[in-house]
Amino acid sequence: MFIKVMFPLFIIFHTLPVLANQPNIVFILADDLGAHTLSSDGNPIMETPHLDKLAAAGMSFSRGYANAATCKPSRAAIISGQYAPRTEIYRVVDRHKGKDDYIKFKVPPNATHLALDNITLAESLKAAGYQTGHFGKWHLEKYKSYLPDTQGFDVSYESHKVHFGAQINMDKNLPNDVYIGDFMTDKALEFIDNATNNKKPFFAYIPYYLIHKPWQAKADDLAYFDKKWGNKYDATTKSVAAMTKALDDNVGRVNEHLEKLGISDNTLVVFTSDNGGYKMPGNVLNGKLRGYKGEIYEGGLRVPYIFKFPTVIANNQRSNEMIMGIDIYPTLISFAKAKAPQQALDGVDFMPLLTGNTKVNPPRSLFWFFPKWERYQEKTGKWYNSWRNVINNGRYKLIEYPDLDQVEVYDLENDPFEQQDISSSAAELTTHLQQELKDWKINISAHQEIINPNFKETTSNK
């Protein structure tokens, strides 16, 4: 009944069919795009024909997960191939500052950037002969000395925060009429052209800022949805639909350019998102899943995954295997015939499954370590969100709340929308999941729960 986690969590490479040569790799990462944002996933409002076409041309996943419910730790996991306790990147912002004495445990320190001694995905691919380019949101630095060009990228254009008039690489401002998603696609296509002309395999990492707030859509896209929907949907929903269309159009531009150059058949294209969709009317980005960005319910963690590689990955496939951000690194270096780095990789190589050499992966559990506190409630003496850890063994999911000494357990097979906490009625299962989560934390040297000597205990938070 129970599935045990296997330690140590280092990557294991399998014997695979040899590809003709090193494929080009295009990795597209959306921002805040939830599991049910794409029209091919059943969204009745969004229009994503190019992403739908991408999914139909390869393999997509019905149980795709981000490594975190917010962007920075999720991106760190993708680029490093490691769970958060190894990179010590847990939070985008320390929202508990000034209220530390109302936290039961000492707050684990939060790294401001990905350490330079971490061997990134880009560095592993570069060592294998790839030209590497980054075009979009990085979010793994606090200072210019930690931008992508210090982490293995030959070419880098970094920007976030706004969609019009953005700042590039912290020192160049674009004109106010330039849409950042379009700009990044332009630069990515230039990079692809140069690498192709140089007859070098390339790794183009395109982490779009779309569809992150602020809600800034191009006028033509917004006018399209205004005309289509009229007053049926609110302004926010129409803006997000327009931004999603802009994302989809740019994905289409990339794929069309690969075909124009005649290199599509030797290019692996991967698409996913950094975390679940943000809170919107009708939970339009996450469908019926509970929660949204920032929360560890399925709505905050579930995201699309699409892999397309003509002649190598069969089309029209839908896998029910669990896949996570940490799996991107080992999978891409396997396709690239690159050497595994001299550091722990916590993910699984999905190349055997993608290429049809296996139908299922060995059973495993997924973990989330999320020491984050926000929105302290003065009247109740409680945090709206506090420290949360999660284990998902494929069917059962346990959420641990260390500050409250509480857990929740959900049977995702029979209760995919997490409506019924079964922790009390399934005591043996709950104990097993707690022990497996504890063992994982010990194995990965996660920060321990150490009592805060300055903790101000009140009647409400006892």
Question: Is residue 44 a part of any domain in this protein?
Answer: yes
The domain boundary residue, chosen from 332, 364, 396: 364
Write out the DSSP string of 397-437: EEEEETTTTEEEEEETTT-TT-----TTT-HHHHHHHHHHH
CATH number of the domain within which 356 lies: 3.40.720.10
Domain tally for the chain? 2
> For residue 377, what are its two tokens?
């409630």
d(CA 139, CA 137) in angstroms, rounded, equals 6
Same domain, 344 and 376: no
pTM of the model: 0.93
Question: Is residue 107 a part of any domain in this protein?
Answer: yes
Same domain, 379 and 255: no
Same domain, 323 and 423: no
- Count of CB atoms within 10 A of residue 331's CB? 24
Question: Is residue 461 a part of any domain in this protein?
Answer: no
Residue among 126, 258, 124, 119 nearest 201 (CA): 126
Question: Is residue 9 a part of any domain in this protein?
Answer: no
d(CA 416, CA 410) in angstroms, rounded, equals 8
d(CA 82, CA 327) in angstroms, rounded, equals 9
Domain enclosing residue 129, as ranges: 24-364
User: What was the pLDDT predicted at 16?
Assistant: 38
Same domain, 199 and 327: yes
Same domain, 82 and 181: yes
Task: Let me know: does 77 contact 334? Beta carbons within 8 Å.
Answer: no
d(CA 459, CA 462) in angstroms, rounded, equals 6
CATH number of the domain within which 421 lies: 3.30.1120.10
Edge-to-edge strand ranges of the sheet holding 396-401:
366-370, 388-392, 396-401, 406-411
Same domain, 255 and 318: yes
The domain boundary residue, chosen from 336, 364, 392: 364
pLDDT in tens, the chain (462 residues): 333 333 333 333 333 344 558 999 999 999 999 999 999 988 999 999 999 999 999 999 999 999 999 999 999 999 999 999 999 999 998 889 989 999 999 999 999 999 999 999 999 999 999 999 999 999 998 778 899 999 999 999 999 999 999 999 988 999 999 999 999 999 999 999 999 999 999 999 999 999 999 999 999 999 999 999 999 999 999 999 999 999 999 999 999 999 999 999 999 999 999 999 999 999 999 999 999 999 999 999 999 999 999 999 999 999 999 999 999 999 999 999 999 999 999 999 999 999 999 999 999 999 999 999 999 998 888 899 999 999 999 999 999 999 999 999 999 999 999 999 999 999 999 999 999 999 999 999 999 999 999 998 764 555
> For residue 267, what are its two tokens?
């290019």
Q: Beta strands of 151-192 (E only): which ranges?
A: 155-158, 167-168, 172-173
Q: Which residues of 319-329 are buried (b: 16+ CB within 10 A; e: fewer)?
A: bebbbbbbbbb
Measure CA of the first residue to CA of the last residue in the chain; give whole Å. 35
Angle, CA 280 vertex, CA 279 and CA 285 arms, to 5°: 85
Same domain, 416 and 267: no
Contacts of 127 by beta carbon, 8 Å cutoff, 6+ apart: 338, 339
Same domain, 242 and 378: no
Same domain, 394 and 303: no
391: β partners: 367, 398
Question: Is residue 331 a part of any domain in this protein?
Answer: yes
Question: Is residue 278 a part of any domain in this protein?
Answer: yes
Question: Is residue 455 a part of any domain in this protein?
Answer: no
Question: Is residue 122 a part of any domain in this protein?
Answer: yes
Q: What secondary structure letter does DSSP report for 106? A: P
Q: Beta strands of 4-106 (E only): which ranges?
A: 24-30, 59-65
The position carrying tokens 């061997």 is 119
Same domain, 314 and 286: yes
Give phi and psi for 179, each to the nearest 5: -85, 125
3-state SS, 109-143, equals CCCCCCCCCCCCHHHHHHHCCCEEEEEECCCCCCC
The position carrying tokens 């690489």 is 169
Name the H helices within 302-386: 328-335, 351-354
H or E element, residue 274: none
Q: What secondary structure letter does DSSP report for 331? A: H
Q: Which one-letter amino acid corresponds to residue 128?
A: A
The domain boundary residue, chosen from 364, 397, 429: 364
d(CA 382, CA 392) in angstroms, rounded, equals 26
Same domain, 318 and 405: no
Same domain, 313 and 377: no
